[in-house]
A and B are shown apart, each in its own frame.
Chain A
């Protein structure tokens, strides 16, 4: 039997990604922790690619975090999802785009439940009607926001001012991709490349000139664990799983981590700070951490957007090492300024994790 190169195996999994006219569903965590990231995505899709994407003021949480933490019945989550679909219908769209991997898993789970347990669809329609008077249609196309970046990765590359190469040496940068469990582990056929060889971010790395880091714990969970992170008493679960990944990837000297899920991005950023302060251990060079970016932030950087306009100053792990490697010019003095250069002071620097 001819063995395929593992980077080609993803081709077994293809998915339909609509070409235009998207209804955008925002993420609770992404808005709070990376508050400018989604607007970078909207700018790329709308202004760079000329696509129509609708950002509805009326949308809400999908409730996924509460559901997976065990405080909400699935019937509630299904009906809130139906409410989101009703808003999409009223806005005149049929292609639903989630900015959150937990949400993508939730929407996918709800659609599968409705398909295989038709009574749940009937009951949800009735519950939504009784509660809100609304009706809904099932989307023609459901994707995660990174799927659209993947679909248009070549177009983005053609407009990019930078590539994922070391500006001094010309060598590809070593990039870790982290997909997030609920992108493809629940329904492998719904993720580009499936669960075994997910390609949604690896494809960006390949197209944009970087080198994928294939390390032993590549597919391991970041450790969110929903209620395990949300309770202070249980949080050791979360940091222990992220640490397992950092220890595994460190030998491959990653220049950058990119993540699909806003929760994963947060944990891979913040647990590096925590581990440094608790144990004195850092995973980047010279006391820095390994910078962690979302897929939109990376896309924006390569397109030449200002890192401080995209909110990279609110990452705990300092991003300057990757900006320098990419050869990106930035104003260090502007990092912690407000509008019109207003002085907002500076954050306290951690004791062990080197930050700027």
Chain B
């Protein structure tokens, strides 16, 4: 069985993102995550380029790899053309594929993202959809959103959208053939397997923590992962 290092090296995002880090810290200086937390992309890259199995495992089990915001400002600035944001993508993939994501508090929260953005793609064909967004989950949407969502049929009609309609235009119902194609692409390319993995490890973790978990977003485990 391949080691973690071998699996990481097989990811072309890692190949693309890591040449040789000179530890200058430019990525950390420009990083919005570093500005608001203890995240330090320089240390992540330096850790990865050592290709040590034990250290890599610790990284995959840590909160660290989940703190990047993927703005990719680091790509513009690195004088050696490293891309810490791409390295993070490879680390996150490996962390989920190996189940190590469940060892960190931030990694565990991937369930909440899978059950919102991930599931919305297969339900609506959009990453986000007006019917699912409310100010309980997104209070910063503000009272204007409450008014818009409550009156969405009338307002979206007045604005000329295709909400609820089978025709081109904004917020249209996406045709069944396209929805089926998305599902088939997810099945073919590993997304369905990844979703199942996130659900599986989350169930195991919920049992370990003694928190109720079911298939809905009303369960305590989802709320814990989304809010706490």
Indicate whether A64 reaches chain B with its CB closer than 8 angstroms.
yes
Instruction: Output the nearest chain A residue to B180 by Cβ-Cβ distance.
Output: A132
Indicate whether A6 reaches chain B with its CB closer than 8 angstroms.
no
Across the interface, do B159 and A71 meet the contact criterion of CB distance under 8 Å? no
Indicate whether A55 reaches chain B with its CB closer than 8 angstroms.
yes
Across the interface, do B76 and A188 meet the contact criterion of CB distance under 8 Å? yes
Which residues of A (125-176) have their CB < 8 Å from a CB of B?
127-128, 130-132, 134
Contacts of B228 in A (CB 8 A): 233
User: Knowing A314-B148, A338-B157 touch, does A69 contact B117 (C-beta < 8 A)?
Assistant: yes
Distance between Cα atoms of A79 and B185 in the complex (Å): 7
Instruction: Output the nearest chain A residue to B163 by Cβ-Cβ distance.
Output: A35
Min Cβ gap A163→B in Å is: 26
Indicate whether A31 reaches chain B with its CB closer than 8 angstroms.
yes
Min Cβ gap B178→A in Å is: 5
Partner among A28, A75, A195, A355 whose Cβ is within 8 Å of the Cβ of B190:
A75
Indicate whether A3 reaches chain B with its CB closer than 8 angstroms.
no
Across the interface, do A80 and B170 meet the contact criterion of CB distance under 8 Å? no
The interface bits of chain A over 13-37 (1 if a CB of B lies within 8 angstroms of the residue's CB, else 0) are 0000000000000101101100110
Which residues of A (226-262) have their CB < 8 Å from a CB of B?
226-228, 230-237, 239-241, 244
Contacts of B155 in A (CB 8 A): 314, 338, 344
User: Knowing A32-B129, A233-B109 touch, does A131 contact B171 (C-beta < 8 A)?
Assistant: no
Across the interface, do B140 and A233 meet the contact criterion of CB distance under 8 Å? no
Min Cβ gap A188→B in Å is: 6
Indicate whether A74 reaches chain B with its CB closer than 8 angstroms.
yes
Across the interface, do A344 and B114 meet the contact criterion of CB distance under 8 Å? no
Across the interface, do A224 and B69 meet the contact criterion of CB distance under 8 Å? yes
Across the interface, do B36 and A236 meet the contact criterion of CB distance under 8 Å? yes
Distance between Cα atoms of A228 and B181 in the complex (Å): 29
Distance between Cα atoms of A337 and B151 in the complex (Å): 10
Indicate whether A350 reaches chain B with its CB closer than 8 angstroms.
yes
Indicate whether B5 reaches chain A with its CB closer than 8 angstroms.
no
Contacts of A69 in B (CB 8 A): 70, 113, 117
Indicate whether A185 reaches chain B with its CB closer than 8 angstroms.
yes
Min Cβ gap A222→B in Å is: 9
Instruction: Output the nearest chain A residue to B184 by Cβ-Cβ distance.
Output: A131
User: Knowing A76-B190, A233-B228 touch, does A28 contact B126 (C-beta < 8 A)?
Assistant: yes
Min Cβ gap B117→A in Å is: 5
Contacts of A345 in B (CB 8 A): 147, 151
Indicate whether A45 reaches chain B with its CB closer than 8 angstroms.
no
Indicate whether A49 reaches chain B with its CB closer than 8 angstroms.
no
Which residues of A (92-145) have their CB < 8 Å from a CB of B?
105, 113, 116-117, 120, 127-128, 130-132, 134
Indicate whether A1 reaches chain B with its CB closer than 8 angstroms.
no
Min Cβ gap B60→A in Å is: 12
Partner among A31, A271, A346 whose Cβ is within 8 Å of the Cβ of B140:
A271
Q: Top 3 A-B pairs ranked by shortest CB distance?
A: A225-B69, A347-B147, A70-B92
For the complex with contacts A71-B194, A232-B227, A314-B144, 16 further pairs of A-B residues with Cβ separation under 8 Å are A36-B161, A39-B161, A60-B182, A69-B70, A73-B190, A117-B12, A117-B15, A221-B71, A230-B112, A232-B137, A270-B140, A270-B142, A271-B140, A315-B144, A316-B141, A355-B144
Q: Which residues of A contact B (CB under 8 A)?
A: 26, 28-29, 31-32, 35-36, 38-39, 55-61, 63-66, 68-76, 78-80, 83, 105, 113, 116-117, 120, 127-128, 130-132, 134, 181-182, 185-186, 188, 195, 220-221, 223-228, 230-237, 239-241, 244, 270-271, 273-274, 309, 311, 313-316, 336-339, 342, 344-350, 355
Can you list 16 A-B pairs with a CB-CB distance of less than 8 A? A28-B126, A35-B163, A64-B127, A65-B127, A71-B117, A71-B194, A73-B93, A74-B89, A76-B186, A76-B189, A117-B15, A128-B185, A227-B66, A230-B113, A233-B226, A271-B140
